[in-house]
Copies of this chain bind each other. A is one copy, B any other.
């Protein structure tokens, strides 16, 4: 694990939505209670059901938040990247994590004890308000996905999932926009509430139409605009 100097960490915190608008002195105080932690690829930050004692801010890497049903079905809630907060929702509730978080690339984090964050919020209302705004934004997003899951066909939802991933981790190259992380058919299925078979069939069809290029755990998008049309169920 690489060491980070305070200046670097302060800059990261400053850009993180949770700490926006707070004076440097406050950030510095927050950093005093934080420690960095590294998670290798495919390790877990925490598992669903464990006591929610730690709050993270992701510095580097990508992670996946998933929920496992009693029947063994896995559902992906969202992917997170640098600057994202993990665990605010449970930081002040003293319960267990409702989801698991898995590092899908090597990850570096800043970690706080949940109590520390609660105290900081009591001390700095701004921090609590930022957290509220953050959770509110995610809530609205989840609400939208809920509605899509309830009313749209699988093909539309897969298109939306890819468009979301483009926004989050899309990397423009000469051969198209590449989703810059390992992404299997199963992963896409868990994002959209369907099966890997159906995802495979849909991607094959799109590949024949030249919209995308699908490889092993990788997707390259040639015509994002076509995906927008598919997502909105418009004729092509």
Contact = CB atoms under 8 A, between A and B. Distances in A.
Interface of A: 67, 69-71, 73, 75, 77, 88-90, 92-93, 98-99, 118, 121-126, 128-129, 131-133, 135-140, 142-147, 149-151, 193, 232-233
A146 B146 contact: yes
23 contacts: A67-B143, A67-B144, A69-B147, A77-B146, A89-B140, A92-B132, A92-B136, A93-B137, A121-B125, A121-B128, A121-B129, A121-B132, A122-B125, A128-B128, A128-B129, A131-B132, A132-B135, A135-B136, A135-B139, A142-B142, A149-B149, A150-B193, A151-B193
Contacts of A137: 93
A84 to B, nearest CB: 15
Given A145-B146, A149-B146, A150-B75, A232 B70 contact: yes
A67 B143 CA distance: 9
A88 B233 CA distance: 33
Please tell me how many copies of the chain the complex holds: 2
Contact of A133 (B92, B133, B147): B92
A151 B89 contact: no
Nearest to A69: B151
Contacts of A118: 129
Contacts of A88: 136
Nearest to A73: B151
Nearest to A77: B143
Contact of A99 (B71, B89, B143): B143
Contacts of A126: 122
Tell which of A73, A132, A140 has the most Cβ of chain B within 10 Å: A132
A98 B139 CA distance: 10
Tell which of A99, A131, A135, A193 has the most Cβ of chain B within 10 Å: A135
Given A77-B146, A147-B69, A149-B149, A139 B138 contact: yes
Nearest to A151: B73
A147 B67 contact: yes
7 tightest CB-CB pairs across the interface, nearest first? A150-B193, A128-B128, A125-B125, A73-B151, A89-B136, A75-B147, A132-B132
B136 A146 contact: no
B142 A146 contact: yes
